[in-house]
Chains A and B, each alone.
Chain A
Amino acid sequence: MKNNYKLLDVKNLRTAFNVEGKDVTVVNDISFNLSPGEIVGLVGESGCGKSVTALSLMGLVPDPPGKILGGEIFLEGKDLLKFSESDMEKVRGKEIGMIFQEPMTSLNPVLTIGKQITEILELHQDMSKEEAINEAIDLLKLVGLTDPELRINDYPHKLSGGQRQRIMIAIALSCKPKILIADEPTTALDVTIQAQILELIQKLSNELGTSVILITHNLGILARYAHKINVMYAGHLIESGTTDEIFYNPKHPYTAGLLNSVPRLDLDPNIELPTIKGEVPNLAEFNEGCIFKTRCPNPTNNCKDGKSEMGLIEVEPGHLVDKCCVNCK
């Protein structure tokens, strides 16, 4: 299943928001890739730019105030950033599907479930109304909803958060996209439901061969479901590698900090988990050196002077980390 063909290859992506007349780069020089069938995690604290990265891939960064400043996003060799809006409309939903954090508000309250699924089938799959309805029923079965024939006539408010997220998955996968972006798909759900939804995503990824970008701020989730992990901090990608490498051989002090703050079964649950101290720098003002220097536990003098240089280098095959941190820990 895993091979080296790069289905998606993101290179030096930079996205900024114009805040009070000044461009603030919130996704800064991000590069990563995705092979067919792979589940790749994107992890980092709130506000680090995960959603903006995802929206950049979809061509949905709100403009204004947002703008993609540079980089390339190759999907099967074609740079999406060069696509026209109408070409992007054929990518969205068809080549890349997306589900969001907030299932309660992600479905349109005034349209039936059926309509919200069939409209995408009619759009991309050239289906007639009837074919689309039958397909929608099959999709609802696929994502494990009971009584799909009745459900398609329901409005979203009748369903629970977990059920709505299943419908979002049905919509996102309806046209068999090559890639599914799941932006914190379970953050808003109960713990037991969380596991069910993630199992479902994993199962469908296996069955349909869909690659998944799984966005979360919980490394624990990725340990279980992701093949590879990209760690983001304040708009930068600071470490990237296989799940095993990241968990057993983290290089960057931020990754190590995140790992320490993951709840673990083998530790006493009453002991408070260590958190990463300090504050994320204000991106509008930050300009030199390592982005993590304000929170790093052991910065060198070079780091403090802002002389350490950012940029990923490969330390082991497939394991990349910020240049400056190859030897620090």
Chain B
Amino acid sequence: MYKYIFRRISLSIPTLIGVSILIFFFMRILPGDVVDAMVTDETGALVFTDAQVESIEESLGLNRPLHIQYLGWMKDVVAGDLGYSFWTKISVGEHVRRRAPMTLEIAVLSLIISWIIGLPVGILAAINRNSLRDYISRGIVILFLAIPSFYAALGFLIFFVLVFTWRPPVEVIFFWQNPIQSLYVALPAAVAIGTGMAAVVARMARSSILEVIREDYVRTAKSKGLTKRTIINRHVLKNALIPVVTISGLQFGNLLSGVIAVEAALSIPGLGVLLAQGLADRDWMIIQNLVLIFAFLFILINLLVDISYSLIDPRIRYD
């Protein structure tokens, strides 16, 4: 098992290098760089002299050849140093430490919500296949699949503000400081993201259950005289789980774009806002390192998904 985990992580290194190269050069191809952003005012007029511009470039190390800049970055990353924001001069690590907990809380809550809603809807749709309930839930599912999480978030925001007189937070409260206050901030965001993900979970759960229901061992379970409920809970669900867990892991990308959009819409200062701000400021260090962290998380989560298979299905072993 440990051998397997080690091998998977080693195999992810080339992927991470690829991601780092892509994001590094992609940032530099984008029109406008951090110095432009720093030395112009809102109208785009230059407010510094050429000499000042050069000294800013030099202080940020941007006058070095590209490959030197890239290798320098990689060297720092390997040493565990994520560099400093061009603007705030605060280390990227510190930025992440401040912003990550809220984002993580939203992400985990979204995931939980997507399962709490998605799984029962999928089960009900499957066992009432082609009934009115199935059609209604499938209709809603398709609706939620079609709405980008950004619009869903806006919709939920308006809903929460109007109905619950909810107000976007002024400051971030971490979960361990005050769970209730913290949830008050995170929950609307998580609902906005989680419902969209729930649609995917529901659809996968439905089709997976419908497949398992046709298996011979379900017929055996019926021949024992077990009730429908027991058959679904005990014999069908666990077998139907693997594709649902898989799709949930693959949804990490959706989760991320959802978090960014929703954090921006609800002005919750999390990693999403940090990334969006970094992009607007051309703060390459922040973006590069965040993207690398996200890529690593994505790989890690899908590794966890694979490992969870062996907990679900005893036939799957990683030795």
Contacts and interface: CB of A to CB of B under 8 A. Distances in A.
Interface of A: 58, 60, 86, 88-94, 97-98, 100, 102, 105-111, 119-120, 123-124, 155, 157, 168, 171-172
B225 A92 contact: yes
- Nearest first, the 4 closest Cβ-Cβ pairs linking A and B are A92-B225, A93-B225, A93-B224, A105-B216
Contacts of B221: 108
A100 B224 contact: no
B239 interface: yes
B181 interface: no
A111 B234 contact: yes
A104 to B, nearest CB: 9
B167 to A, nearest CB: 47
Given A110-B313, A110-B314, A119-B234, A58 B223 contact: yes
B315 interface: yes
A60 B219 contact: yes
Contact of A98 (B215, B223, B226, B314): B223
Interface residues of B, number: 21
Contacts of B238: 110-111
Contacts of A171: 220, 224
Contacts of B216: 100, 102, 105-106
Contacts of B25: none
B15 to A, nearest CB: 31
A167 to B, nearest CB: 10
Interface in B289-319: 312-315
A109 B314 contact: yes
Nearest to A181: B223
Contacts of B217: 105-109
Instruction: Determine which residue in B219, B235, B312, B313 has the highest number of CB atoms from chain A within 10 A of its CB, and name it.
Output: B219
Nearest to B238: A110
Nearest to A109: B315
Interface in B229-262: 230, 234-235, 238-239
Contacts of B215: 105
B64 interface: no
Contacts of B219: 60, 100, 106
Instruction: Determine which residue in B220, B221, B315 has the highest number of CB atoms from chain A within 10 A of its CB, and name it.
Output: B220
A100 B220 contact: yes
B227 interface: yes
B223 A92 contact: yes
A105 to B, nearest CB: 4
Contacts of A120: 224-226
Given A157-B314, A157-B315, A107 B220 contact: yes
A309 B312 CA distance: 57
Contacts of B314: 109-110, 155, 157
B222 interface: yes
Nearest to B314: A155
12 contacts: A58-B222, A58-B223, A89-B227, A93-B223, A108-B239, A109-B217, A109-B239, A110-B238, A110-B313, A111-B238, A123-B224, A157-B315
